[in-house]
Each structure stands twice: as structure tokens, then as C-alpha cells.
Amino acid sequence: MIFLGQLLVIWKFSPAGAFSWLREDPGIWLLLLATQASAAGGYILNDYHDVRIDQINKPGRVVVGRLVTRRKALFSYLLLTAFALLAGILAGKKEGLLVLLCCFLLWLYSARLKCLPLAGNLLVALLVAVSLFLPSLRFEADLRILLPFCQFAFLSNLIRELVKDMEDMRGDSQHACRTFPIAFGLPASRRLINLAGILMLLNFLLLIPEYSGFGMAPVLLCLFPFGLFYHALQKADRKRDFSRLSRLLKWAMVAGMGGFAFF
């Protein structure tokens, strides 16, 4: 999804058109590869640290220690991170520094922040938003639309991170992870998700003057699946319910990216 979002940014904002820009600027390919490699490495490191928690929360989907040894998982993380740093440096100085910062923050998340209330959620959401902003380092983009797109990515990923914490409360609580739902409860988590939804709605409403001939269709495309999500959220109180919400959010995020293509 990050890769698709970056391609959307290039297609929407690059002055020479997406395909011309991808063909004429090898650095942008290096930047895309660096982003994917650092994100993949971050996922592997997170699974490496979460083996015992995942055996409780999702026993059928545990990979590290069952399908892949912990040593191979750690080696894969180091290899992907080294590749991301090399690709970022080859893309440019600014790009290299940002990729280095992102790799460090992904390590910090897995090692320290993911078990703290809200800190890890905010960091992951911010990193996703930054990854969508990265291609604009290669060209000048219309910030009136790009920044709301990044804000959408931040808020939608923050919501999904909170839902995943609500889904994983059992395993997290048994391993001393004080995520937001554990520290403050499900009602407070719902209120925070509702607040993020209100901010997202305001974000879309501010974009309405920028649409180009499609009327309200882009806004409805973005908001309809989130409406379904919020309707289901009010009744959710079991792990199975939160798992469904997490899957629904993935489709809502894809629909949101599609809606932004029309602005």
C-alpha cells in the first residue's frame, strides 16, 4: 500500500508525468526501493521481537521461530536495512538522511515504543505519512493536495494501529505491553478513534474546492467505507470483531487513496 501510494504521488504531481519521470530519474526508483526495504525490515524486526506475544494473539500466523529461524529473521532485517540505506544514499543526500532516520525510528518502535500508550501508534502513522511525502523530494508538488493526502495516511494508519492494539489486548497484557487500550480501556480507545475520524472528515471537506470535475464522487469514495467501519466499531467488543474491523480498514485505506486520485 505504501508503494501504491508513492506511485500515486508520482503520477499525480510529477511535472513530466509518472512514466516519464520514472524513466528519466533513476533516483526515484532508488527512493522507492529504499522505502520498501526499510518497511519490510521493520516488519521483520517487529515479528522478531513479538514471537511470544504473537503466539497468543495470532498463533496460526507466527513465522519467526516456526517457518524461519530467529537468526535468519535477524539477518534478513539487517540485509534489508543495509540495502535501504545504500539505496537512499545513492538517491541523494536528503533522501539518504531521511531513510537513515526512518530505519532508526523503526528500530526504536520495535525495541521500545510499541508497548507504550500511543507513542508507537503515532510513530508508525507518522512514518507512513512521511513515506508518501518522500517522492516529492525529487520534484515540486502541489502541497494543497499532497499534504492532505499525507494527513489522510497519518490518521487512517493511526486508527488502524489503535484497532490492532484493541485486537491484541490479550497477548499484550500478558507480556507487560501497556498499549493505549490496556492503559485507558476500550471506551477511551473508541473516543480517540472517533476524534481521528472527525479530523479525517475535516481533511476531506477542506479538499472539496480542489476537486476537478467529479463533484462529490471522490469524497464519497473516500468516506463511504469509513462510515461502514465506524458503524461496526460502536458494537465491537471481541477479538473477532476487531479483526474484522482491521480488514475493513485496509479496504477503506485503498478506497481513500483511489479517491485522492481524482482531486
92-137, pLDDT tens digit by residue? 888 899 999 999 999 999 888 888 889 999 999 999 999 999 888 8
Domain boundaries, given as residue ranges, for the chain? 1-9+16-115, 142-263
Helix axes 186-207, 143-167, angle to 10 degrees: 160
- Residue 13 exposed, middle or buried by CB count within 10 Å (0-12, 13-18, 19+): buried
| CA 165 vs CA 53, 182, 187, 242: distances in Å | 12, 8, 13, 9
Residue where the block lists cell 480542489: 210
Total residues belonging to the chain: 263
Q: What number of H helices and E strands is found in the chain?
A: 13, 0
Q: pTM surpassing 0.85?
A: yes
> What are 45-68's pLDDT values in tens digits?
988 887 787 778 777 778 887 888
**pLDDT score, position 105:** 94
Amino acid at 150: C
Q: What is the average pLDDT score of the chain?
A: 84
Q: How confident is the model at residue 81 (pLDDT cuts 50, 70, 90)?
A: very high
**What pLDDT is stored for residue 21 in this prediction?**
64
How far is the first Cα of the chain from the last one, in angstroms, to the nearest whole number?
19
pLDDT of 16: 63
3 state SS of 64: strand
The reported pLDDT for the residue numbered 172 is 80
Q: What is the pLDDT of residue 210?
A: 59
Please report the pLDDT score of residue 106 as a whole number. Answer: 93
Report, at the CATH architecture level, how domain 1-9+16-115 is classified. Answer: Orthogonal Bundle (1.10)
